[in-house]
Structure 1
């Protein structure tokens, strides 16, 4: 992209025009200048997304290690999680590249997004498609040693990722679609450890099998609910621009009454976590730390957050999700 072309993509800031500026610090500043737009497209400088893609997989591996009839060695758990993390680095980058490519016309109308690589024409539509395919193949390549059950989940997971950018055009439910997609990471983690927990319907013939299916389903839906909460909070940053651009979302749909909707979804999340733990007999540690901690965290966030403050919504998305995953729901081992 030429300097004059780059300069044409600018934004207003305090009444003055601010042009796109190449990064001067961080990992992007260390890359060759020709690589920077693609690195920005992959969001390698924003690890929150990698974390959000990966953590459901981590939950799945730990959950499976608790309920599997097989003995799971700690080293196997670590190795599988390293593989899943690397897979998610590439898969999340592919999802971002595809989403930005599909959303380029919308992004040009949204203040926070208008300087993204495809939107500012630093990366062409064709280049973004090729880059997406490369990243997706890299993710699949890292997963080649995974069990058959893993791939049975990976296919719908990929299809939902492709569907997500279009959900904001034709529905008000992109956060729900994203929740179902990211939540599948839980099942991918389960399959990576013991895919017999997912294979076929034969397990429904036993009481234990039925309880496992129902309990895992409840935990999966709890992940869906959590995604709906944090991504709706994230979307609050762009509500005004989204309304002008015609972008649809739960934040736009419930504009003015988002908080009651978030409370409803949060209550559903806690109820689903309790249901999953009860069916599996996880005990008081899980109920107190996972369920009680989740309830306390959500209560504090939804009671204090200013949904009209973009900076506050961004903070809760970045830091809040980190605290939620590491400190609270990781306690399924309790």
Structure 2
């Protein structure tokens, strides 16, 4: 017999979510429109790749802005699709975890059949975005679906589902380059690997929120694998992240704003690892969300260098 967690009070809905019809609200919650942090964390690596490629090719501001906008729409759609896949796989597990027990599928507000139809619509929209990019992006972009589809399985069989999520969430760091008509494999690889290290850190902090319930439900994570060693391991991943990000900047011949941004991001990451209380779910959530600002710092640094080069200021 499955033990269902008692649902906790949900955070208040924002004005947009409150304005939605009651029949639509569960579908909006299914794709986490009320929790945009995941969309931002998926989007930021895309922006790094796009703007670094724009910097390298001296692309026009119009082309760069258009591609950034297209990837923003794509991040919103594909993050939503990933949430549906995750919740379909995890509907029984979610019922056993306090924080997730009221998700739409787990709580019965949306049936699995309805969710699958909704997923088909999301993937169709995602394909439309992908077809708006240069043709050589199609295969690279579509290949990320394998990670999206299999990620939820990893928490059942391995303590490292965060690694599969890291592969998924940073795919845009590579895709941004061919989207701007520029293939630079060494820079793409360094940027992608840097993002993987970043995600391993922030998603481990996220996983520490649920570690007590996860043990009962049989869900595995790096939080349970590393336990009291989480902070030293996350420090190692952050050192690797900064080194790889710096290497990507050197390979791409970035300017001073980029390296100043890397230094700022490094400070933010070090402060997070030092300060976060991994035994306090609310504090874990706070510092997990703080990574949205860190990703934005890196994008801002690349974008400033791009503008300076574009307008002849460097």
- TM-score, normalised via structure 1 length: 0.85
Offset of 1:25 from its aligned partner?
5.2
The whole-number CA distance in structure 2 between the counterparts of 1:266 and 1:93 is 28
Matches within 5 A, 1:163-312: 163-194=150-181, 196-197=182-183, 212-290=184-262, 292-312=263-283
Matches within 5 A, 1:31-70: 31-68=20-57
Are the equivalent residues in 2 in contact too, given 1:263–1:302 (CA < 8 A)? yes
1:143–1:155: structure 2 CA closer, same or farther, 3 Å change rule?
Answer: closer
- Considering Cα pairs closer than 8 Å and 6+ residues apart, tell me whether 1 or 2 has the greater RCO: 2
The whole-number CA distance in structure 1 between the counterparts of 2:100 and 2:145 is 24
Are the equivalent residues in 2 in contact too, given 1:294–1:329 (CA < 8 A)? no
| Partner in structure 2 of residue 112 of structure 1 | 99
2:136 equivalent to 1:149? yes
Shift >4 Å, 4+ stretches: none
Offset of 1:312 from its aligned partner?
1.0
The whole-number CA distance in structure 2 between the counterparts of 1:248 and 1:24 is 30
Provide the secondary structure at the position in 1 that maps to 2:99: coil
| Partner in structure 2 of residue 161 of structure 1 | 148
1:284–1:10: structure 2 CA closer, same or farther, 3 Å change rule?
Answer: closer
| Partner in structure 2 of residue 208 of structure 1 | none
The whole-number CA distance in structure 2 between the counterparts of 1:280 and 1:154 is 22
Are the equivalent residues in 1 in contact too, given 2:7–2:101 (CA < 8 A)? no
**RMSD after superposition:** 1.9
| Partner in structure 2 of residue 200 of structure 1 | none
2:6 equivalent to 1:11? yes
The whole-number CA distance in structure 1 between the counterparts of 2:250 and 2:71 is 28
The whole-number CA distance in structure 2 between the counterparts of 1:28 and 1:12 is 20
Are the equivalent residues in 2 in contact too, given 1:41–1:96 (CA < 8 A)? yes
Provide the secondary structure at the position in 2 that maps to 1:116: coil
- TM-score, normalised via structure 2 length: 0.90
Aligned length: 301
Offset of 1:293 from its aligned partner?
1.7
Provide the secondary structure at the position in 1 that maps to 2:59: coil
Equivalent of 2:69 in 67, 70, 82: 82
The whole-number CA distance in structure 2 between the counterparts of 1:24 and 1:37 is 12
Are the equivalent residues in 2 in contact too, given 1:10–1:115 (CA < 8 A)? no
- The structure with more radius of gyration: 1
| Partner in structure 1 of residue 300 of structure 2 | 330
**Uncovered stretches (5+) of structure 1, i.e. residues with no partner:** 1-8, 198-211
The whole-number CA distance in structure 1 between the counterparts of 2:152 and 2:7 is 27
The whole-number CA distance in structure 2 between the counterparts of 1:278 and 1:265 is 20
